[in-house]
Amino acid sequence: MSEAIDAAVALAHRREWAQLLAVLARTTGDLALAEECVQEAFASALEVWPVEGVPARPGAWLTRVARNRALDELRRRAAFRRRLPLLVTDGAVPSPEDGLDDDRLRLIFTCCHPALSQEAQAALTLRLVCGLSTGEVARAFLVSEPTMAARLTRAKKKIATARIPYRTPPPESLGERVSVVLEVVQLIFSTGHTAPAGPGLVRHDLLDRALDLGRLLHLLMPTSADVSAQLALMLLTSARASARVSPDGRLLLLSEQDRSLWNAGQIEQGEALLVEALRRGPPGRYALQAAIAASHASAPGWEATDWHEIVALYERLFVLWPSPVVALNRAVALGMRDGPSAGLDALAPLLSEPALATYPYLSAARADFLRQLGRVSAAASAYEEALVLTSNDVERRFLLERLGSL
Amino acid sequence: MAKYMLLIFGDPAQWDAMTPDEWKAHDAAHAAFHDAAGARVVSAAQLESPPVATTLRAGSDGGLVLTDGPFLETKEGLGGFYLVDADDLDEVTKLAALLPEVRAAHSAVEIRPVVDHG
């Protein structure tokens, strides 16, 4: 019984949190108060539901409790005539024809406002949009809970005192603002896909939160090609998540993975979203990355990988997004197409790239090409270099095994 | 409505090196800012170059000490300011984007909300 209640609360938490907080933030004009009241509504659900049963409409029940709590607090504050830092809300509801009149979108765009640092944006999004506790957000970014609490407080204070408005951006800045949001979602996804440190390779909880965010954005902005493409990229990438680690916890490369473990449903959804994005305009950064992931997903086996297509896609991606990490991936794909010696040549110019100086995958990629060429001692020192830069336990074990097998 | 201070920072040497034509374009951009901001400009000033500054602070003997130069001895300094009214950060950012100093590589505009004492 109590397990069923806990599950009902957890489900309501995942489904209703963002909507609840977003509406309360708009109606009270106070983000911190909204957060507190929504938190308390869920706490009282845990107390009341086991006694009175799960309400027929959990969302409505939670809204009522949170709203009453907020009204009490606002009355109390009014009695004391305390001055409050308030959210700048529109007051009047914006014109519905822009299709962006949704409180959850206001909340997301406020959390991901470009006047906040990216780490603050990601932390606020996980806390306020996804409803993670401060402790959970702290663990996601590998900082202590007091540090994360201070970061969140500072960000909320900036929203209030600098008057970051609680609204969806106007059409002329929508594209820019959407890309800031997508970068935050992608950051949460990547953090879950390969945890920067710790025992597990994949943090499924973070992957799921990032996918939830992507689906919500797609629901609310169905005509944005970038939103569709980014969701496609996440689905096509996370489809492989369960196959990336063997039952005994070893890291498995793409070439070693059991492709029957790949999530066919996610691949299908991802491909459909990619097609949708490509129909809307020339491919952007996320569409090209999704196309690369789709190319891997559609190869029946490692040997059937179309490296010509993948190199060509990386070429196009590099034109659009000339980042050193894209250059590294392009060089690796080139090595797969033309052999380890060509791969090594393609990696060579990246060795002096400052942005990659502490990037473990550069050393790991070099090590692998050197190993294939039989250059044992050079390969060994490259694996050692990669080990120094890697904090994820599963990746470290993989590198140590490779080093030992030389 | 809230007040924001737009603090214009830059390298005075680069400002001094500007040609008359560059100044003309620069002044035109400030005029465009004034046109767009209208009555929202509460006050504004261009400041004399930071090296001309005099700084007053407490000395070790409890008295006051005057020093030659700005408080922060950096290459870049405060060149001027606007105090403006705006509804929110997005509105003031849109206005500040009209200032020529946000385009030059050596300068930038810092946006600071003013404390509202009611």
Put simply, whether A85 touches B (Cβ < 8 Å) is no
Q: Is residue B77 part of a domain?
A: yes
Put simply, whether A82 touches B (Cβ < 8 Å) is no
**pLDDT at residue A152, as a whole number:** 96
Q: How far is CA A372 from the centre of its chain?
A: 34
Written as tens digits, the pLDDT of chain A (406 aa) is 588 899 999 999 999 999 999 999 998 888 999 999 999 999 999 999 999 999 999 999 999 999 999 999 888 887 666 555 567 776 544 444 456 678 999 999 999 999 999 999 999 999 999 999 999 999 888 899 999 999 999 999 999 999 999 989 998 999 999 999 999 999 999 999 988 888 888 898 899 999 999 999 999 999 999 999 999 999 999 999 999 999 888 889 999 999 999 999 999 999 999 999 999 999 999 999 999 999 999 999 999 999 999 999 999 999 999 999 999 999 999 999 999 999 999 999 999 999 999 899 999 999 999 999 999 999 999 999 999 999 889 999 999 999 999 8
Chain B nearest-CA distance from A163, in A, is 5
**pLDDT at residue A90, as a whole number:** 61
**DSSP reduced 3-state for B82:** strand
Q: Measured between alpha carbons, how far is A117 from A114 in angstroms, rounded to an integer?
A: 7
Return the residue matching tokens 């179309």.
A306
User: Confidence band (pLDDT; 50, 70, 90) for B117?
Assistant: confident
Q: Is residue B118 part of a domain?
A: no
Residues in A touching B114 (Cβ below 8 Å): none
Q: What is the mean pLDDT of residues B8-37?
A: 95
Those residues whose C-beta lies under 8 Å from the C-beta of residue A362, and which sit 6 or more positions away, are A328, A347, A350, A351, A356
What residue of B is the nearest CA neighbor of A163?
B88
Residues in A touching B93 (Cβ below 8 Å): 115
ipTM of the complex: 0.88
Q: Do B90 and A165 touch (CB under 8 A)?
A: yes
Chain A nearest-CA distance from B57, in A, is 30
Residues in B touching A113 (Cβ below 8 Å): 89
Those residues whose C-beta lies under 8 Å from the C-beta of residue A37, and which sit 6 or more positions away, are A24, A28, A66, A67, A69, A70, A73
Between A83, A163, A169, which is nearest B89 by CB? A163
Token pair in block for residue A223: 């005509």
CB atoms within 10 A of CB B110: 12
Q: Is residue B71 part of a domain?
A: yes
Put simply, whether B89 touches A (Cβ < 8 Å) is yes
Put simply, whether A87 touches B (Cβ < 8 Å) is no
Residues 4-63 on B with a CB inside 8 Å of A are none
**pLDDT at residue B73, as a whole number:** 86
One-letter amino acid at A118 equals: Q
CATH code, domain with B53: 3.30.70.1060
Range of the domain at B82: 2-113
Write out the H or E segment, with its range, that includes residue B2.
strand B2-10
Put simply, whether B108 touches A (Cβ < 8 Å) is no
Put simply, whether A83 touches B (Cβ < 8 Å) is yes
**pLDDT at residue A239, as a whole number:** 96
Q: Do A115 and B93 touch (CB under 8 A)?
A: yes
Q: Is residue B79 part of a domain?
A: yes
What residue of B is the nearest CA neighbor of A177?
B90
**pLDDT at residue A97, as a whole number:** 47
Q: How far is CA A387 from the centre of its chain?
A: 26
Structural domain count, chain B: 1
User: Which pTM was predicted?
Assistant: 0.89
**pLDDT at residue A2, as a whole number:** 80
Between B87, B113, B118, which is nearest A162 by CB? B113
Residues in B touching A164 (Cβ below 8 Å): 88-90
Residues in B touching A161 (Cβ below 8 Å): 113
Tell me how many residue pairs between chain A and chain B have CB atoms under 8 A apart.
Answer: 23
Q: Is residue B45 part of a domain?
A: yes
Q: Do A165 and B87 touch (CB under 8 A)?
A: yes
